[in-house]
Structure 1
Amino acid sequence: MIANIVEWLTSSATWSGDTGLWARIVEHLWYSLLAVAIAAVIAIPLGLWVGHTGRAKWLVSLANSLRAVPTLGLLFAVALWLGPKISGDLAFLIPSVVVLVILVIPPILSGVYAGVEAVDPATRDAARGMGMRGMEVVRQVEIPNAMPLILSGLRSAFLQVIATATVAAYIGLGGLGRYLVDGIKTGDYVSTAGGALVVSLLALLVDGILALVQRLVVSPGLTGGRSGRSRRGRRNAEVANSSAPAGMSADGGGVVSDAT
């Protein structure tokens, strides 16, 4: 079985054509990117507002409760409701995207809200003391400090949507889910297993790229990186030394002689 899967994956016929593996990967990524983009437009501003104001926290709990909804059952329900009202290929695309958006809103919303709420209140007070107001505090203080959790929420959303976008094939769309649906229907378990493997590898690849982006975007001081720790250590030492008694080092060591 493993040898057959390897042969299927390395065959040029598997990758070529309008229904080949390259075309299915592009379709799969298109569905995933579209769903995450729409969900981000909804969830990021909402998470910033809830985290900044502390109001309507129940929205985060409500969104998280949507994780318990069966994705395939919701897809069929939305398709039966919206499908007859829409013509053409959109009758299949819109229900799938709606379901995927519902799936990925919770991790994005939770990440943004948790990141903003975790910002030290003293940092906000200092920003307001410098004359910042409203959206200035959000843009210049809360978003930069919340960036690790915001990007973690986006990474979680991408992992979930890439793994779940296979359900789009159940209502006639393309993507890597075609190998699972068609393979099971025809008894071609080699392509079924191969398609599932490609979905897993694609999710890991995208997560790895986003992890690299997160490492480049987020300040080392927020991630506890080596440079961030060293800078904090230097600042703490400077503060401690400035408050230590004259002639005494901050680490409690011996007396520092003033003699030259």
Structure 2
Amino acid sequence: MNAFADAFRYLNDPLVWTRSGGVLDLLVQHLRISALAVLLAAVLAVPAGVLLGRSGRGAGAVVVLSNVSRAVPTLALLTVLAVTPLGFSETGTVLALAVFAVPPMLTNTFVGFREVDRDVREAARAMGMSRGQLLTRVELPLALPLVMTGVRTAAVQVVATATLAALVGGGGLGRIINLGFGQQDYGQILAGALLVAALALLTELLLVLASAVLTPGPRRRTLRRAPAAHTGTPEPTASGVPL
């Protein structure tokens, strides 16, 4: 309980949030690193998944690449990049996290486009659609739910894993946890962990909402107008005679 109380006091200290190098500064660093890594991974993985999925080839290569990428420990890759000319820089952290984000995006994009019904494609071609129109008007809307699932999975993983950047001199919320370990301050360690967990959950929620907005087709309404209550009084008809 002492660790939770210390974490509560740490998170309720305004100076901890607003000072130079405080929580707000580290949060901005964490978001910047994560966003750049996800964007870089999307630039590489999504077009490759679209090309392979539309051609129907390369399933084995996608599986092998995804498995190999997932087998590489992110911390080991961060350490390797740290001893390269990139050094202890934000660029090395972004590259390592991008490698970690590629597999779910590539796999989901590939499967999403590969699973588009062949009859739907043939019907679109019969209507005179070009390859570009087929991609943007037919295949992409149908594959978008799986593509967004891959992006969401990668983004949440990157936000959580970016914490490791602090172990090789990087920025982000992981520095709070790292400093807590150095000072044997378990309240600070717990506070940092809670911040990272909250940020990952918020990322998941925002991307779920974005996926719901971007996915075409009817969506369930969460709020519906309640039916008018029946008072038991018969309503008069046009002739004045009650029903």
Alignment TM-score > 0.5, same fold: yes
CA shift, 1:62, in A, is: 2.7
Following TM superposition, the consecutive aligned residue runs of length 4 or more in structure 1 with deviations greater than 2 angstroms are 55-59, 81-84, 133-136
CA shift, 1:55, in A, is: 2.2
CA shift, 1:226, in A, is: 4.6
Q: Structure 1 unaligned runs (5+)?
A: 85-90, 228-260
1:1-260 aligned within 5 A: 1-65=3-67, 66-83=69-86, 91-221=88-218, 225-226=219-220
Q: Distance in 2 between matches of 1:219 and 1:123?
A: 16
Q: Distance in 1 between matches of 2:197 and 2:172?
A: 14
Contact 1:82 1:95 in 2 (8 A): no
Q: Distance in 1 between matches of 2:77 and 2:28?
A: 24
Contact 2:6 2:188 in 1 (8 A): no
Query: Secondary structure at 1:173's aligned position in 2?
Result: coil
Q: Which amino acid aligns with 2:117?
A: D
Per-residue deviation, residues 57-87 of structure 1 (Å, max 9, x unmatched): 2332133111121111111112213336xxx
Contact 1:220 1:226 in 2 (8 A): no
Q: Which amino acid aligns with 1:171?
A: V
**Higher percent of residues as helix:** 1
Contact 1:28 1:175 in 2 (8 A): yes
Q: Compare 37-46 and 166-175 and name the one that shifted more.
A: 166-175
Contact 1:63 1:105 in 2 (8 A): no
Per-residue deviation, residues 155-206 of structure 1 (Å, max 9, x unmatched): 1011100000011111212100101112112212211110011000001011
Q: Compare 194-203 and 12-21 and name the one that shifted more.
A: 12-21
CA shift, 1:135, in A, is: 2.5
Q: Structure 2 unaligned runs (5+)?
A: 222-243
Q: Distance in 1 between matches of 2:110 and 2:85?
A: 31
**RCO greater where, 1 or 2, for CA within 8 Å and sep 6 or more?**
2
Count of residues in Structure 1 that have an aligned counterpart in Structure 2: 218
Q: Distance in 1 between matches of 2:193 and 2:16?
A: 14
Q: Which amino acid aligns with 1:73?
A: A
Contact 1:14 1:20 in 2 (8 A): yes
Q: Distance in 2 between matches of 1:146 and 1:113?
A: 9
Q: Which amino acid aligns with 2:18?
A: S
Q: Distance in 2 between matches of 1:113 and 1:160?
A: 19
